[in-house]
Amino acid sequence: MMTINRRRFLELMALSSAGLLGSRYLPAQTVTNNSSPSDSPPVLQCPTETGITVVWAVSRSATGTVEYGTAPDKLDRTAHGDIFGLKPFNSRFLQVRIDGLKPNTRYFYRTVTRPMKFEHAYSIKQEEPVAGEVFSFETSGAGTRSGTFSTINDTHNNQSTLKLLTDRLKQINSSYTVWNGDLVDSFDNENIAVEAVLRPANAAFAAQNPMLFVPGNHDYRGEWARNTPQALPAWEHNDPKDKKFGRNFVVRTGPLALIGLDTGEDKPDRHPAWAGLSYFEPYRVGQRDWLERALKSKAVASASFVVAFCHIPLFSPDPNANGGDTLEGYARFQRQANELWSPLLSKYGVQALITAHTHRFKYFPADQTRKWTQISGGGPQNTSTVIHGKAEGNTLEIIADDVIGNKELGRWQFKKR
Ligand SMILES: [Fe+2]
């Protein structure tokens, strides 16, 4: 165990000295031992106009806080991550929500991890706290001139592809990374969530630009799948009736609104492979009403550009394609979600839907009946894509890059709604 800790520590320190983890603004507090309790860089998630969640992995039992402020040398506030009076304590994941922030504002932050030995209820031993590097992020909101995003998908914990993808994400430097599903083959245990999600190719890929998780069918597989909110926290909707839809989100960034939808598994709930544990059909029905409320919300209704994301395509040009509703094979598109959600995407003027799942890059322009363009990303072994967009002025431009072939696959412009 110690060897793994030391190796991870050395890897993180190598990244740090290469500037990959570090901040340009302030030298981090020096870590003076070789058993840093952190096992990943921080991963920013669930970004709103007034809050953000910081998640990081640890290699042994620890608690943690996040120090933050509006200048790198003035981290004068602390978020404690407390729930019902208890601060976090976990041997693999720490999660701290920061609230009460201002929209469109840059904040600087660092994690502070304190290893602890929990011997029994009346004997808890604290070790010295270890501060991480200082990073910064900007809260979302309509008040910026432009809005940007990058999408990756179907990474399946392929570390060499993740290296290419995270390098490209760093170059593009979009405000948000949408990770459009199938991060793993299956969530069999917590270590996969650390390796495949929190430190993909050892990159600090979302320490400054938040990640938006959109689940794929594989992300619902494995004995540990119900524990993914430890690494991938659920969205906290304002309306309590939306609590069930914690994988759906709306993020407003300048003139652009981003919407996340969850297509769930790729076979029907009655499929014997699920042993009766799947309930995605009612979940897709529920998301229809959530989607309509989201499309009518001020954040979306007032946006000049709207892009939606889901893992399984909603459209297939093949009339005989598997719609995920038969016991044979698996979905090439999601027929039920298509019937429920696609008319709303047309009615409320969503310009593009970015999907994944088929491991083939595809572009289908809007037509008379389907008023949105569908772009599907590639797979982990060939044509692995970063699909990135920038909305500014009267135009949204979306570009698809193949990071394995190192070439551009296409670029498309969308006029303001
Ligand atoms: Fe998939």
* Fold of the 146-415 domain: Purple Acid Phosphatase; chain A, domain 2 (3.60.21)
Question: DSSP character for 405?
Answer: T
Cα–Cα dist 207/214, whole Å: 18
Phi/psi of residue 242, nearest 5 degrees: -90, 5
Q: What is the pTM of this model?
A: 0.92
The DSSP bridge partners found for residue 176 are 149
Question: Would you say 323 and 330 are in contact if contact means Cβ atoms under 8 Å apart?
Answer: no
Confidence of residue 174 (pLDDT cuts 50, 70, 90): very high
Q: Which residue has the tokens 């630009």?
A: 209
Residue pLDDT, tens place only, 271-290: 999 999 999 999 999 999 99
Q: What digits encode the pLDDT tens for the residues 49-81?
A: 999 999 999 999 999 999 999 999 999 999 999
Ligand 1 centre distance from Cα of residue 219 (Å): 9
Ranges of CATH 2.60.40.10 domains, the chain: 2-138
- For residue 286, the CA-to-ligand 1 centroid distance in Å is 21
| Contact between residue 138 and residue 35 where contact means Cβ atoms under 8 Å apart | no
Q: What is the pLDDT of residue 335?
A: 98
b or e along 203-223 (b: 16 or more beta carbons within 10 Å of the residue's beta carbon)?
bbbbbbbbbbbbbbbbbbbbe
Tokens of 128: 């010295």
- The total number of residues shown for the chain amounts to 417
Find residue 363's DSSP bridge partners: 375
Distance 304 CA to ligand 1 centre (A): 30
Q: Are 401 and 407 in contact (CB under 8 A)?
A: yes
Sign of CA dihedral 270, 273, 275, 276: negative
Kindly write down the DSSP assignment for every residue of 39-78, as one continuous string: -S--EEES--SS-EEEEEEBSSSEEEEEEEESBTTB--EE
What's the CA-to-centroid distance between 153 and ligand 1, angstroms?
Answer: 9
299 alpha carbon – ligand 1 mean position (Å): 29
CATH code 3.60.21.10 region(s) in the chain = 146-415
Ligand 1 centroid to residue 163 C-alpha, Å = 20
Per residue in 382-402, pLDDT (tens digit) is: 899 999 999 999 999 999 999
What is the assigned CATH class of domain 2-138? mainly beta
Higher local confidence (pLDDT), 23 or 151 = 151
